[in-house]
Amino acid sequence: MSIRVFSTDTDAGCVSVIEQTPDKKHQLVCQIPVGNAPRGSVRFTTDGRGYVSNCGGNTISEINGVTNREAARITVGIAPRGIGIVPGDTFALVSNSGSDCVSVVDLTARSEIAQIAVGRDPRHMALAPDGRFAYVAVWGSHYVSKIDTSPLLENRRSDIKTDVREVARIPVGKDAHPYSVAIDPAGERAYVANTQAAYISVIDLSTDKVIQQVDVGSKGARAIAIQPDGARAYASVEDTSEVVAFETANGDVVRRFDVGPGPRGIAIDPQSGVLFSSSFSRSKAKTMLSGRLFSPNALTILDLTSMRDIKSDDPQVDEIRVGTGPCSVSILDLGGIVKK
Protein backbone atom coordinates (compact mmCIF):
# COMPACT_ATOMS: atom_id res chain seq x y z
CA MET A 1 0.00 0.00 0.00
CA SER A 2 1.42 3.39 -0.98
CA ILE A 3 -0.84 6.29 -0.05
CA ARG A 4 -0.12 9.97 -0.55
CA VAL A 5 -2.17 12.70 1.07
CA PHE A 6 -2.31 16.14 -0.55
CA SER A 7 -3.12 19.25 1.51
CA THR A 8 -4.12 22.38 -0.39
CA ASP A 9 -2.47 25.21 1.56
CA THR A 10 -4.12 28.47 0.56
CA ASP A 11 -1.96 31.02 2.37
CA ALA A 12 1.30 29.25 1.52
CA GLY A 13 0.52 28.97 -2.19
CA CYS A 14 1.45 25.31 -2.27
CA VAL A 15 0.23 21.74 -1.99
CA SER A 16 1.80 19.74 0.85
CA VAL A 17 2.45 16.05 0.22
CA ILE A 18 2.25 13.56 3.07
CA GLU A 19 3.23 9.92 2.81
CA GLN A 20 1.31 7.28 4.71
CA THR A 21 3.06 4.01 5.54
CA PRO A 22 1.39 0.61 6.05
CA ASP A 23 1.52 1.12 9.83
CA LYS A 24 -0.46 4.38 9.46
CA LYS A 25 2.44 6.69 10.21
CA HIS A 26 2.66 9.99 8.35
CA GLN A 27 5.43 12.30 7.25
CA LEU A 28 5.60 15.50 5.22
CA VAL A 29 7.77 14.74 2.18
CA CYS A 30 7.56 17.95 0.13
CA GLN A 31 5.55 21.03 -0.78
CA ILE A 32 4.63 21.75 -4.40
CA PRO A 33 4.50 25.47 -5.29
CA VAL A 34 1.41 26.30 -7.36
CA GLY A 35 -0.49 29.52 -8.12
CA ASN A 36 -1.84 32.21 -5.82
CA ALA A 37 -4.26 31.09 -3.08
CA PRO A 38 -4.96 27.48 -4.11
CA ARG A 39 -8.37 26.22 -3.04
CA GLY A 40 -10.25 22.95 -3.10
CA SER A 41 -9.13 19.35 -3.15
CA VAL A 42 -6.59 18.17 -5.70
CA ARG A 43 -8.56 16.06 -8.18
CA PHE A 44 -6.72 13.19 -9.82
CA THR A 45 -7.01 11.33 -13.11
CA THR A 46 -6.50 7.58 -13.15
CA ASP A 47 -2.93 8.04 -14.42
CA GLY A 48 -1.93 10.29 -11.51
CA ARG A 49 -2.32 13.80 -12.91
CA GLY A 50 -3.68 16.14 -10.25
CA TYR A 51 -5.50 19.45 -10.70
CA VAL A 52 -6.00 22.23 -8.16
CA SER A 53 -7.61 25.68 -8.47
CA ASN A 54 -5.58 28.85 -7.99
CA CYS A 55 -8.33 31.04 -6.58
CA GLY A 56 -6.16 34.16 -6.43
CA GLY A 57 -6.03 34.32 -10.22
CA ASN A 58 -7.60 32.59 -13.17
CA THR A 59 -5.68 29.33 -13.53
CA ILE A 60 -5.65 25.75 -12.37
CA SER A 61 -2.37 23.91 -11.78
CA GLU A 62 -1.65 20.46 -13.15
CA ILE A 63 0.66 18.51 -10.87
CA ASN A 64 2.30 15.14 -11.29
CA GLY A 65 1.18 12.99 -8.38
CA VAL A 66 4.17 10.66 -8.73
CA THR A 67 7.04 13.17 -9.10
CA ASN A 68 5.32 15.85 -6.96
CA ARG A 69 5.96 18.68 -9.41
CA GLU A 70 3.77 21.25 -11.11
CA ALA A 71 3.53 20.37 -14.81
CA ALA A 72 1.40 23.20 -16.24
CA ARG A 73 -1.07 25.99 -15.55
CA ILE A 74 -4.32 26.22 -17.48
CA THR A 75 -6.24 29.48 -17.86
CA VAL A 76 -9.92 29.33 -16.84
CA GLY A 77 -12.40 31.85 -15.39
CA ILE A 78 -11.91 34.25 -12.50
CA ALA A 79 -11.26 32.87 -8.99
CA PRO A 80 -11.63 29.14 -9.68
CA ARG A 81 -12.67 26.99 -6.72
CA GLY A 82 -13.90 23.46 -7.38
CA ILE A 83 -12.79 20.87 -9.94
CA GLY A 84 -14.39 17.68 -11.22
CA ILE A 85 -12.72 15.12 -13.51
CA VAL A 86 -15.05 13.50 -16.05
CA PRO A 87 -14.54 9.70 -16.34
CA GLY A 88 -12.18 9.00 -19.20
CA ASP A 89 -9.77 11.71 -17.98
CA THR A 90 -10.11 13.83 -21.15
CA PHE A 91 -12.15 16.67 -19.66
CA ALA A 92 -12.51 18.54 -16.38
CA LEU A 93 -15.04 21.02 -15.04
CA VAL A 94 -13.92 24.05 -13.03
CA SER A 95 -16.27 26.29 -11.03
CA ASN A 96 -15.25 29.95 -11.28
CA SER A 97 -16.53 31.85 -8.25
CA GLY A 98 -15.54 35.25 -9.65
CA SER A 99 -17.15 34.91 -13.07
CA ASP A 100 -20.28 32.90 -12.18
CA CYS A 101 -19.60 30.08 -14.60
CA VAL A 102 -18.20 26.58 -14.93
CA SER A 103 -15.31 26.02 -17.35
CA VAL A 104 -14.96 22.94 -19.52
CA VAL A 105 -11.26 22.12 -19.82
CA ASP A 106 -9.63 19.83 -22.36
CA LEU A 107 -6.97 18.16 -20.23
CA THR A 108 -5.00 16.85 -23.21
CA ALA A 109 -4.77 20.25 -24.89
CA ARG A 110 -4.55 22.02 -21.53
CA SER A 111 -7.07 24.61 -22.60
CA GLU A 112 -10.52 25.91 -21.70
CA ILE A 113 -12.99 25.10 -24.49
CA ALA A 114 -16.33 26.30 -23.10
CA GLN A 115 -18.02 28.13 -20.22
CA ILE A 116 -21.41 27.30 -18.68
CA ALA A 117 -23.30 30.12 -16.99
CA VAL A 118 -24.62 29.37 -13.50
CA GLY A 119 -25.71 31.44 -10.50
CA ARG A 120 -23.62 33.69 -8.29
CA ASP A 121 -20.37 32.39 -6.82
CA PRO A 122 -20.18 28.65 -7.61
CA ARG A 123 -17.95 26.68 -5.24
CA HIS A 124 -17.22 22.95 -5.05
CA MET A 125 -18.74 20.08 -7.02
CA ALA A 126 -19.18 16.34 -7.36
CA LEU A 127 -19.83 14.18 -10.39
CA ALA A 128 -22.25 11.28 -10.43
CA PRO A 129 -20.43 7.91 -10.42
CA ASP A 130 -21.46 7.29 -14.05
CA GLY A 131 -20.16 10.73 -15.05
CA ARG A 132 -23.33 11.90 -16.80
CA PHE A 133 -24.10 14.80 -14.48
CA ALA A 134 -22.14 17.21 -12.33
CA TYR A 135 -23.60 18.86 -9.23
CA VAL A 136 -22.13 22.25 -8.30
CA ALA A 137 -22.78 24.12 -5.04
CA VAL A 138 -23.73 27.67 -6.07
CA TRP A 139 -22.91 29.47 -2.85
CA GLY A 140 -24.29 32.92 -3.64
CA SER A 141 -27.59 31.73 -5.10
CA HIS A 142 -28.42 28.97 -2.56
CA TYR A 143 -28.90 26.13 -5.01
CA VAL A 144 -27.11 23.13 -6.48
CA SER A 145 -26.62 23.32 -10.23
CA LYS A 146 -27.12 20.08 -12.17
CA ILE A 147 -25.03 20.10 -15.35
CA ASP A 148 -25.40 17.59 -18.19
CA THR A 149 -21.91 16.22 -18.86
CA SER A 150 -22.87 13.35 -21.18
CA PRO A 151 -21.23 14.94 -24.27
CA LEU A 152 -17.94 15.03 -22.34
CA LEU A 153 -18.33 11.45 -21.18
CA GLU A 154 -18.98 10.34 -24.77
CA ASN A 155 -16.35 12.71 -26.23
CA ARG A 156 -18.92 14.37 -28.52
CA ARG A 157 -16.84 17.48 -29.13
CA SER A 158 -19.23 19.10 -31.60
CA ASP A 159 -21.94 19.11 -28.91
CA ILE A 160 -19.94 20.50 -26.01
CA LYS A 161 -20.75 24.21 -26.42
CA THR A 162 -24.48 23.58 -26.87
CA ASP A 163 -25.27 20.47 -24.84
CA VAL A 164 -23.02 20.71 -21.79
CA ARG A 165 -25.38 22.94 -19.86
CA GLU A 166 -27.27 23.53 -16.66
CA VAL A 167 -30.41 21.37 -16.74
CA ALA A 168 -31.77 21.89 -13.21
CA ARG A 169 -31.46 24.17 -10.20
CA ILE A 170 -32.03 22.43 -6.88
CA PRO A 171 -32.71 24.90 -4.02
CA VAL A 172 -31.27 23.88 -0.65
CA GLY A 173 -32.77 26.54 1.60
CA LYS A 174 -33.06 30.28 1.93
CA ASP A 175 -29.67 31.85 2.72
CA ALA A 176 -28.13 28.39 3.26
CA HIS A 177 -25.04 29.14 1.14
CA PRO A 178 -24.14 25.64 -0.14
CA TYR A 179 -20.39 25.13 -0.20
CA SER A 180 -19.67 21.60 -1.36
CA VAL A 181 -21.35 18.41 -2.59
CA ALA A 182 -20.64 14.73 -1.98
CA ILE A 183 -22.41 11.84 -3.73
CA ASP A 184 -22.90 8.40 -2.22
CA PRO A 185 -21.18 5.42 -3.89
CA ALA A 186 -24.49 4.17 -5.30
CA GLY A 187 -25.12 7.49 -7.04
CA GLU A 188 -28.54 7.82 -5.44
CA ARG A 189 -28.13 10.78 -3.09
CA ALA A 190 -26.12 13.98 -2.88
CA TYR A 191 -25.13 15.53 0.44
CA VAL A 192 -24.67 19.29 0.51
CA ALA A 193 -22.64 21.16 3.14
CA ASN A 194 -24.17 24.58 3.87
CA THR A 195 -22.00 27.22 5.51
CA GLN A 196 -24.86 29.41 6.79
CA ALA A 197 -27.39 26.78 7.84
CA ALA A 198 -27.15 24.24 10.66
CA TYR A 199 -28.01 21.32 8.40
CA ILE A 200 -26.76 19.12 5.60
CA SER A 201 -29.17 19.01 2.66
CA VAL A 202 -29.85 15.55 1.23
CA ILE A 203 -30.91 15.41 -2.43
CA ASP A 204 -32.61 12.45 -4.11
CA LEU A 205 -30.83 12.36 -7.47
CA SER A 206 -33.70 10.53 -9.15
CA THR A 207 -36.05 13.46 -8.52
CA ASP A 208 -33.62 16.38 -7.97
CA LYS A 209 -35.44 17.22 -4.74
CA VAL A 210 -34.21 17.79 -1.18
CA ILE A 211 -35.66 14.93 0.85
CA GLN A 212 -33.99 15.50 4.21
CA GLN A 213 -32.06 17.95 6.34
CA VAL A 214 -29.47 16.47 8.69
CA ASP A 215 -29.10 18.68 11.76
CA VAL A 216 -25.39 19.08 12.54
CA GLY A 217 -26.01 21.50 15.40
CA SER A 218 -24.27 24.56 14.00
CA LYS A 219 -23.71 26.47 10.81
CA GLY A 220 -20.29 26.25 9.21
CA ALA A 221 -20.34 22.89 7.43
CA ARG A 222 -17.68 22.85 4.72
CA ALA A 223 -17.11 19.35 3.39
CA ILE A 224 -18.52 15.84 3.55
CA ALA A 225 -16.83 12.46 3.18
CA ILE A 226 -18.77 9.22 2.81
CA GLN A 227 -17.56 5.75 3.79
CA PRO A 228 -16.96 3.38 0.86
CA ASP A 229 -19.97 1.27 1.92
CA GLY A 230 -22.17 4.39 1.97
CA ALA A 231 -23.49 3.68 5.46
CA ARG A 232 -22.02 6.66 7.28
CA ALA A 233 -20.96 10.18 6.35
CA TYR A 234 -18.70 12.70 8.07
CA ALA A 235 -19.06 16.49 7.85
CA SER A 236 -16.49 19.10 8.84
CA VAL A 237 -18.07 21.96 10.82
CA GLU A 238 -15.73 24.93 10.84
CA ASP A 239 -17.59 27.03 13.42
CA THR A 240 -17.31 24.39 16.18
CA SER A 241 -14.04 22.70 15.12
CA GLU A 242 -15.73 19.34 14.84
CA VAL A 243 -16.23 16.45 12.48
CA VAL A 244 -19.82 15.21 12.79
CA ALA A 245 -20.63 11.59 11.91
CA PHE A 246 -24.14 10.63 10.82
CA GLU A 247 -25.91 7.56 9.47
CA THR A 248 -27.00 7.96 5.86
CA ALA A 249 -30.00 5.65 6.29
CA ASN A 250 -31.81 7.98 8.68
CA GLY A 251 -29.65 11.08 9.14
CA ASP A 252 -29.04 10.37 12.83
CA VAL A 253 -25.91 12.03 14.22
CA VAL A 254 -23.94 9.34 16.08
CA ARG A 255 -20.77 11.16 17.09
CA ARG A 256 -19.03 14.52 17.22
CA PHE A 257 -15.22 14.51 17.10
CA ASP A 258 -13.14 17.51 18.16
CA VAL A 259 -10.49 18.21 15.54
CA GLY A 260 -8.04 21.01 14.77
CA PRO A 261 -9.28 24.61 14.64
CA GLY A 262 -11.49 25.67 11.73
CA PRO A 263 -11.77 22.37 9.81
CA ARG A 264 -12.65 22.61 6.13
CA GLY A 265 -11.41 19.80 3.92
CA ILE A 266 -12.07 16.19 4.84
CA ALA A 267 -11.16 12.86 3.26
CA ILE A 268 -11.25 9.17 4.18
CA ASP A 269 -8.63 6.70 3.00
CA PRO A 270 -10.77 3.73 1.88
CA GLN A 271 -7.95 1.27 2.51
CA SER A 272 -6.79 2.20 6.00
CA GLY A 273 -9.98 3.76 7.38
CA VAL A 274 -8.08 6.91 8.38
CA LEU A 275 -9.87 10.26 8.19
CA PHE A 276 -7.99 13.49 7.49
CA SER A 277 -9.36 16.93 8.39
CA SER A 278 -7.65 20.22 7.48
CA SER A 279 -7.36 22.96 10.12
CA PHE A 280 -7.85 26.21 8.23
CA SER A 281 -7.82 28.57 11.23
CA ARG A 282 -5.34 31.40 10.71
CA SER A 283 -4.52 31.57 14.42
CA LYS A 284 -0.89 30.91 15.33
CA ALA A 285 -1.77 29.50 18.73
CA LYS A 286 -2.67 25.94 19.59
CA THR A 287 -6.27 25.21 20.57
CA MET A 288 -7.32 23.09 23.54
CA LEU A 289 -10.30 20.81 22.80
CA SER A 290 -11.38 17.85 24.92
CA GLY A 291 -8.14 18.00 26.86
CA ARG A 292 -5.96 17.88 23.76
CA LEU A 293 -3.92 20.61 22.12
CA PHE A 294 -4.49 20.94 18.37
CA SER A 295 -2.14 22.88 16.11
CA PRO A 296 -3.19 25.37 13.45
CA ASN A 297 -1.98 24.76 9.89
CA ALA A 298 -2.18 21.01 10.33
CA LEU A 299 -4.14 17.96 9.32
CA THR A 300 -5.96 16.14 12.12
CA ILE A 301 -5.77 12.37 11.64
CA LEU A 302 -8.53 10.16 13.07
CA ASP A 303 -8.12 6.38 12.85
CA LEU A 304 -11.75 5.34 12.54
CA THR A 305 -10.87 1.64 12.65
CA SER A 306 -9.48 1.99 16.16
CA MET A 307 -13.05 2.24 17.52
CA ARG A 308 -15.19 -0.84 18.05
CA ASP A 309 -18.18 1.34 18.93
CA ILE A 310 -18.28 4.79 17.35
CA LYS A 311 -20.74 6.03 19.98
CA SER A 312 -18.56 5.24 23.00
CA ASP A 313 -14.96 4.56 21.96
CA ASP A 314 -12.43 7.28 21.24
CA PRO A 315 -10.38 7.02 18.06
CA GLN A 316 -6.62 7.25 17.88
CA VAL A 317 -5.84 10.90 17.09
CA ASP A 318 -2.73 12.38 15.55
CA GLU A 319 -1.82 15.46 13.52
CA ILE A 320 0.77 16.58 11.02
CA ARG A 321 1.80 20.16 10.31
CA VAL A 322 1.49 21.41 6.73
CA GLY A 323 1.60 24.83 5.03
CA THR A 324 -0.35 27.85 6.24
CA GLY A 325 -4.08 27.94 5.57
CA PRO A 326 -4.84 24.32 4.66
CA CYS A 327 -8.34 24.36 3.19
CA SER A 328 -8.73 20.95 1.57
CA VAL A 329 -7.31 17.46 1.56
CA SER A 330 -7.27 14.59 -0.94
CA ILE A 331 -5.84 11.09 -1.22
CA LEU A 332 -3.98 9.33 -4.04
CA ASP A 333 -3.29 5.60 -4.08
CA LEU A 334 -0.03 5.26 -6.00
CA GLY A 335 -0.66 1.53 -6.39
CA GLY A 336 -3.88 2.24 -8.24
CA ILE A 337 -2.39 4.50 -10.91
CA VAL A 338 -3.11 3.26 -14.42
CA LYS A 339 -0.32 3.87 -16.92
CA LYS A 340 -1.48 5.18 -20.29
pLDDT band, residue 129 (cuts 50/70/90): very high
pLDDT band, residue 239 (cuts 50/70/90): very high
pLDDT band, residue 167 (cuts 50/70/90): very high
Mean pLDDT for 2-8 is: 94
Which of these, 86, 16, 94, lies nearest to 54 by C-alpha position? 94
Q: Please give the pLDDT value at position 281.
A: 85
Q: Please give the pLDDT value at position 292.
A: 86
Tens digit of pLDDT for each residue in 190-229?
999 999 999 999 999 999 999 999 999 999 999 999 999 9
Q: 177 pLDDT exceeds 70? A: yes
Q: 324 pLDDT exceeds 60? A: yes
Tens digit of pLDDT for each residue in 246-265?
999 999 999 999 999 999 99
Average model confidence (pLDDT) for the chain? 96
Global pTM exceeds 0.75: yes
* Cα–Cα distance, 268 to 262 (Å, whole number): 18
* Cα–Cα distance, 303 to 296 (Å, whole number): 20
Phi/psi of residue 162, nearest 5 degrees: -105, -35
Q: Please give the pLDDT value at position 112.
A: 98
Report whether 74 contacts 60 (CB < 8 A).
yes
Q: Please give the pLDDT value at position 59.
A: 98
* Cα–Cα distance, 261 to 144 (Å, whole number): 28
Concatenate the DSSP letters of all residues of 97-139 into one string.
TTTTEEEEEETTTTEEEEEEE-SSSEEEEEE-TTSSEEEEEET
Q: Please give the pLDDT value at position 214.
A: 98
Q: 1 pLDDT exceeds 60? A: no
Tens digit of pLDDT for each residue in 18-31?
998 777 789 999 99
Mean pLDDT for 157-186 is: 97
Tens digit of pLDDT for each residue in 41-61?
999 999 999 999 999 999 999
Mean pLDDT for 119-138 is: 98
Give me the percent of the chain exceeding a pLDDT of 70: 100
Q: 130 pLDDT exceeds 70? A: yes
Phi/psi of residue 239, nearest 5 degrees: -65, -25
Report whether 225 contacts 246 (CB < 8 A).
no
